[in-house]
A and B are shown apart, each in its own frame.
Chain A
Amino acid sequence: MLGKTAGGLFWMARLLERAENTARMIETGQRIALTRAGSGADDWLSVLQAAAVSQGYQEKHGEVVPEQAIDWMLRDPDNPASVMAVVAQARANARLVRTALTHEAWEAVNSFWMLLRDALARKIPIRDLPKVLSLIRERNALTRGAILGTMLRNEIYDFIRIGTFIERADNTARILDVKYYVLLPSAAAVGSRLDNVQWDTILRSVSAEGGYRMAVGPDVTPMGIAQFLILDKRMPRSLNFCCAKLRDNLNYLASDYDLRLPCHQLADTLCRRFMSHDVTAIFDYGLHEYVQEVLGHLSGLSHQVEIDYRFYG
């Protein structure tokens, strides 16, 4: 396979995952806005931060206004990380690697882009927001389904999965990074309702409020959340889960090519982090520092994959 093709697959998958995550962040923000009084400007700011698009927003708009924040994340042409822009880039990557995709997978990505382009042609009134967000969720699910159901389990698939899990781990880690302070024991000691809303936000940001109840129980605690999002092996967006999948897919490549490369070493090191820690140890070490390191590690790994599999030359 061409190095460029591997890169295109990797990025197509990352960007599709990113679009879904951003859409979920909007959903979370909207949910908080509906369940509490006040302007909600702070909540939207942290949503923008968790989606890593706050800097551009503030440069353009300054003050955080919910409608503008939503438009920014969904479709503002000045935001290169808007859902629209990200899906367009994902589709451009799919077009680049067209020969590596099945007909179904390509058509799923292409029709996702076409539908979204129509749906986001104009600013979305708040009352239509749920419809647009569910379109994004459904189309992403359809695309994932087409990939899962029609693609051969070979190197092409591996690069797609590697992209997906790097992005997903990165997203979860970023949410933890932006919100770590509400999980700190000192904050929990306050025990106010406000903190519960914040905790709820975190769980919703990763579509985990139902899963948490099922896996951990009805009591939401900071320790429980951290344990669930970092270490739980059943949770498909936890760092542990994503990194294990990441390593698995890299290992498939290694055995397929009969060649272990520096990125495999990095993936192993990353995964060991989750074996050797329990959640109290992480808190003792410093949640913030820990998450920062994971983020750094993920970006290093992503870069190493690019080099090892010659994405760019």
Chain B
Amino acid sequence: MDMFDEMQGQEGHIRDPYATFDAWLSEEDATRLRAKSREAEDLFRLTGITFNVYGRSEAEERLIPFDIIPRIISGREWQRLERGIEQRVRAINAFLHDIYHRQEILRAGRVPQEMISGNEAFLPQMIGVMPPGGVYTHITGIDLVRTGPDDFFVLEDNARTPSGVSYMLENRETMLRMFPELFNANRVRPVSDYPRNLRRSLAASAPPACEGTPTVAVLTPGMYNSAYYEHAFLADKMGVELVEGHDLRIVDGRVAMRTTRGYQPIDVLYRRVDDDFLDPLSFNPESTLGVPGIMDVYRAGGITIANAPGTGISDDKAIYSYMPEIVEFYTGERPILQNVPTWRCNEKESLDYVLANLSELVVKEVHGSGGYGMLIGPAASKKELKSFERKLRARPGNYIAQPTLSLSTVPVFTNKGLAPRHVDLRPFVLMSPERINVTPGGLTRVAMKKGSLVVNSSQGGGTKDTWVLED
């Protein structure tokens, strides 16, 4: 299988976007770069850019490996991606509105009703609820992979609470601090206005009950959550309060936070707490992370919850396979971004195909995330294949399968020089009633192990700074 390297190209000569960088690199001394690489790591540790690992001791904080070689995308390449991402996010938002209202797409038979009725991410409490400004997905992350110069595929949509944006911002800060000269030689589109755009975008989605300048806050499950650093980071950069469930009460018909001066209403809550834990009165009654009654205030128009509850119905891996139909249905256009071909194992023919070709496919859990519970056929042992086959037969509806794509590589810096590693890309998209804003670039995740296709940070993946050049 031909591997596409984004820097070296297929034929082994440096691709255009990397020309200036390559010239700089060839002048650089490996010892200095090694020192810089270590310096970057110290910087991350000092700033406290760590994540907590699930299933380990509460106090353990780990660093996501950062690689100093940037991933570079040309302005022209980006333009097409941006249009495709916008189209997709618009369609996702329209789909959500439809699913929680008339369900025209089900009536039209374009998406089977079972995809919704049997889905735990579907929240009946959202039926008939119109989120302020009609926005469901204030923040979306669209995971993309690349297989060739012009071949990008959407791997996954993240419409619940996509994380990683703090790494995008800190990676850039780190590169700016360490290699300022690179940014003189290359015209890299900035990402640093993301927090300001996020705040603006959230404020623009304020509820009818808001008077004056909207008060925004970030709701975190707390400092032991794996993404706590990011929650604090975003609250800090936006200049808003970082709250937990026990800071909040229902006061005067609003959700209000306990301040040193008493309770003050919140207009827009950027919550990083999952639906199920958001409100013990409406959802999981055992939850202590949420706010009892917040859904009632929401339904009465007293607060904006971002993203809206119930958006998980659109980023489910089973729904994913219908995304081309969804985009066409709501935009009337052909999808600009391709989906990875997907077999739904709940369909008999697909299941047969998947079982017959298991060693060549990637099989994922429909509701899973973070790279857990998935099978990478080509990398699996006979024994693993056998045991997965049993799982598949037992609960076919729980799985989808995709071909193993020949993911593009970008070099990483190792002690022995540059070495190609597989990457993906998560651009971040902001949506307000007025506009859609795609931050140029996004988070590039990289599999640090040679040949590995798993880029998830929870499984040892690293990150890179992502540059979109002004052409």
Please determine if A and B sit in direct contact within the complex, based on CB atoms under 8 angstroms apart.
yes
Report which A residues bind B (CB closer than 8 A): 1-6, 92, 95-96, 98-99, 103, 106-107, 110-111, 114, 155, 257, 259, 309-310, 313
18 A-B interface contacts by CB (under 8 A): A1-B259, A1-B260, A2-B241, A2-B242, A2-B259, A3-B258, A3-B260, A4-B243, A92-B223, A95-B228, A96-B223, A98-B48, A99-B235, A99-B236, A99-B242, A114-B45, A257-B260, A310-B259
Task: Indicate if the CB atoms of A2 and B48 lie closer than 8 Å.
Answer: no
- The answer on a CB contact under 8 Å between B247 and A2 is yes
| Nearest CB in chain A to that of B263: its residue | A310
The answer to whether B46 and A3 touch across the interface, beta carbons within 8 angstroms, is no
Q: What residues on A are CB-neighbors of B244 within 8 Å?
A: 4
Please state if B46 and A155 are interface contacts (CB–CB under 8 Å).
no
A99-B232, A310-B260 as given contacts; A110 in contact with B46, CB under 8 Å:
yes
Q: Which residue of A lies closest to B222 (CB)?
A: A96
B47 CB–A CB distance under 8 Å? yes
User: Judging by beta carbons under 8 Å apart, are A106 and B260 in contact?
Assistant: no
Closest-by-CB residue of B relative to A311 is B260
Pairwise interchain contact A6-B246, C-beta atoms closer than 8 A: no
CB distance from B72 to the nearest CB of A (A): 29
Q: Which residues of A contact B45 (CB under 8 A)?
A: 114
- What 8 additional pairs, Cβ within 8 angstroms, besides A4-B247, A6-B260? A1-B241, A2-B242, A2-B243, A3-B247, A3-B258, A95-B223, A96-B223, A99-B232
- B246 proximity list for chain A (CB < 8 A): 4, 313
Q: Known A95-B223, A99-B241, A110-B48; judge A3-B259 contact (CB<8 A).
A: yes
- Complex contacts, B262 vs chain A, CB 8 Å: 310
Q: B residues within 8 A CB of A95?
A: 48, 223, 228, 232
Rounded to whole angstroms, the CA-CA distance of A92 and B257 in the bound complex is 22
Closest A residue to B244 using CB positions: A4
Q: In the assembled complex, which residues on chain A have CB atoms less than 8 Å from the CB atom of B258?
A: 2-4, 310, 313
Interface size on B, residues (CB 8 A): 21
Cα–Cα distance between A118 and B248 once the two chains are bound (Å): 38
Given contacts A95-B223, A98-B232, A310-B260, contact A106 B243 (CB under 8 A): no
Docked CA distance A45–B21 (Å):
65
Check if B261 is an interface residue, CB within 8 A of chain A.
yes
Query: Which residues of chain B come closer than 8 Å to A313, judged between CB atoms?
Result: 246, 258
Within 8 A of A (CB), among B232-253: 232, 235-236, 241-244, 246-247
**Which residues of the partner chain B approach A259 to less than 8 Å between Cβ atoms?**
261
Residues of B within 8 A of A5 (CB): 241
Assembled-state Cα–Cα distance A111/B232 (Å): 18
A304 shortest CB reach to chain B, Å: 14
Q: How far is the CA of A92 from the CA of B45 in the complex (A)?
A: 15
A106-B48 contact in complex given A3-B247, A99-B242, C-beta closer than 8 Å = yes
Most buried by B among A1, A99, A155, A310: A99
**A256 CA / B16 CA spacing, docked (Å):** 58
Chain A residues near B48: list those with CB within 8 A. 95, 98, 106, 110
**What residues of chain A lie closer than 8 Å to B242, measured between beta carbons?**
2, 98-99
* Docked-complex contact B46 and A111, CB < 8 angstroms: yes
Q: Which residues of B contact A3 (CB under 8 A)?
A: 247, 258-260
| Docked CA distance A250–B46 (Å) | 33
Chain A proximity of B151: nearest CB distance (Å): 41
Main secondary structure of the interface of B (DSSP, over half): mixed
A313 to B261, CA, bound (A): 12
The secondary structure that dominates the A interface is helix
Contact pattern, B 203-245, Cβ under 8 Å of A = 1, otherwise 0? 0000000000000000000010000100010011000011110
Query: Which residues from B are CB-within-8-Å of A309?
Result: 260
Tell me the bound Cα distance from A92 to B59 in angstroms.
Answer: 10
**Closest CB-CB distance, A150 to chain B, in whole Å?**
14
Are A107 and B232 in contact, CB atoms less than 8 angstroms apart?
no
In the complex, what residue of chain B is closest to A258 when comparing beta carbons?
B261
How many angstroms between the C-alpha atoms of A309 and B259 in the bound complex?
A: 8
Chain A residues near B223 (CB-CB < 8 A): 92, 95-96
Complex interface: chain B residues within 8 A of A103 (CB): 47
A257 / chain B contacts, CB cutoff of 8 Å: 260-261
- B235: which A residues are within 8 A, CB to CB? 99
What is the distance, in angstroms, from A80's C-beta to the closest C-beta of chain B?
14
Closest-CB distance, B292 to chain A (whole angstroms): 14
A110 to B241, CA, bound (A): 21
Bound form: Cα–Cα A310–B260 in Å: 6
Max count, chain A CB within 10 A of own CB: residue among B242, B246, B262: B242
Question: Could you say which residues of chain B place their CB within 8 Å of the CB of A1?
Answer: 241, 259-260
The chain B residue sitting closest to A310, CB to CB, is B258
Contacts of B46 in A (CB 8 A): 107, 110-111, 114
* Residues in A neighbouring B247, C-beta threshold 8 A: 2-4
Q: Considering only CB atoms, which chain A residue lies closest to B240 in the complex?
A: A99
Interface centre among B236, B257, B258 (most CB of A within 10 A): B258
* Closest Cβ–Cβ distance, residue B244 to chain A (whole Å): 7
Q: Nearest 7 CB-CB pairs, A to B?
A: A99-B236, A98-B232, A309-B260, A3-B258, A6-B260, A99-B235, A1-B260
- Quote the shortest CB–CB distance from B270 to chain A (angstroms): 13
Chain B: minimal CB distance from A114 (Å):
7
Cα of A310 to Cα of B246 in the assembled complex, Å:
12
In the bound assembly, the distance between CA atoms of A136 and B229 in angstroms comes to: 26
A98–B220 CA distance with the chains assembled, in angstroms: 13
A107 in contact with B47 given A95-B223, A95-B232, A99-B235 (CB within 8 Å): yes
Q: A4-B247, A313-B246 are in contact. Are A98 and B259 (CB under 8 A)?
A: no
- Find chain A residues with CB under 8 A from B260 CB: 1-3, 6, 155, 257, 309-310
Alpha-carbon distance A257/B262, docked complex (angstroms): 11
Chain B nearest CB, measured from A235 CB (Å): 31
A110 to B45 CA separation, bound complex (whole angstroms): 9
Give chain A nearest CB distance to B221 CB in angstroms: 13
Please name all residues of chain B whose beta carbon is closer than 8 Å to the beta carbon of A110 when the two chains form the complex: 46-48
A99–B216 CA distance with the chains assembled, in angstroms: 14
- Provide the bound-state CA to CA distance between A291 and B47, in Å: 42
- Chain A residues near B228 (CB-CB < 8 A): 95
- Give Cα A1–Cα B259 distance, bound, in whole angstroms: 5
With a CB–CB cut-off of 8 A, which chain A residues contact B47?
A: 103, 107, 110
Nearest-Cβ distance from residue B18 to partner chain A, whole angstroms: 33
User: Does B257 lie within 8 Å of A2, measured CB to CB?
Assistant: yes
* B413 CB to nearest chain A CB (Å): 25
Chain B proximity of A105: nearest CB distance (Å): 12
Most-contacted residue by chain A among B46, B48, B247 (CB, 10 A): B48
Contacts of B243 in A (CB 8 A): 2, 4
Which of B223, B235, B247, B260 has most A Cβ within 10 Å?
B260
Min CB distance, A91 to chain B, in Å?
A: 9
> Smallest Cβ distance from A13 to chain B, in angstroms?
15
CB A115 to nearest CB in B, in angstroms, measures 11
| Min distance, Cβ B297 to any Cβ of chain A, angstroms | 19
A110 to B42, CA, bound (A): 12
Name the residue on A nearest B237 (C-beta).
Answer: A99
Q: Contacts of A4 on B, CB cut-off 8 Å?
A: 243-244, 246-247, 258
